[in-house]
């Protein structure tokens, strides 16, 4: 019961926070700087990071 009350209060506080900064737009990786070990900053080697269904996916290739 305490968990549910805490959860509801936290949702209320987050909803009223006008300083919220959106980090991911759900469409593409604009504004993100990809860094993969061994490759230059910004190089998305073999499309390791991509957006799919509104989420950032990290592809693992063996």
| Residue 44 lies in domain | 21-62
Q: What pLDDT digit, counting tens, does each position of 5-19 carry?
A: 887 777 777 666 567
Average pLDDT over residues 38-48: 95
**Which residues lie closer than 8 Å to 24 by C-beta, 6 or more apart?**
32, 56
Let me know if residue 42 belongs to a domain.
Answer: yes
Average pLDDT over residues 32-55: 95
Are the C-beta atoms of residues 56 and 49 closer than 8 Å to each other? yes
Let me know if residue 62 belongs to a domain.
Answer: yes
Let me know if residue 14 belongs to a domain.
Answer: no
Count up the domains in the chain and report the number.
1
pLDDT band at 23 (very low <50, low <70, confident <90, very high): very high
């Amino acid at each position: 019961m305490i968990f549910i009350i805490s959860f509801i209060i936290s949702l209320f506080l987050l909803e009223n926070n006008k300083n919220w900064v959106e980090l991911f737009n759900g469409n593409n990786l604009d504004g993100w700087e990809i860094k993969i070990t061994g490759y230059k900053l910004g190089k998305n080697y073999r499309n390791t990071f991509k957006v799919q269904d509104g989420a950032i996916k990290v592809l693992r290739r063996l």
